[in-house]
């Protein structure tokens, strides 16, 4: 299992557009990808679940990746967060 923390820099947090892009990116991997904020976590392939976390600018999320392609997925998802959030 791979995990990393990321502090959101996008001024409106994880809203509809980047959440949709995150779901699309996550669906490109076979690994299970979860995004957690505090006690709540969400499957990164489910748009409404990701948006229900209510992630705002300045919040830190923990991303966990587990599965066959976790190395590539961790690298790709980390780059996605850095480029988009």
Catalytic residue set:
15
Distances (CA, A) of 13 to 31, 36, 61, 66, 68: 24, 14, 11, 25, 30
Look at residue 75 and give its three-state secondary structure. Answer: helix
């Amino acid at each position: 299992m791979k995990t990393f923390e990321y502090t959101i820099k996008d001024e409106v947090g994880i809203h509809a557009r980047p959440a949709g892009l995150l779901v699309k990116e996550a669906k490109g991997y076979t690994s299970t990808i979860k995004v957690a904020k505090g006690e709540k976590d969400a499957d990164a392939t489910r748009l409404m679940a990701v948006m229900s976390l209510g992630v705002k600018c300045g919040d830190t999320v923990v991303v966990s990746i587990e599965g066959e392609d976790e190395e590539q997925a961790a690298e790709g998802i980390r780059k996605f967060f850095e480029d988009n959030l």
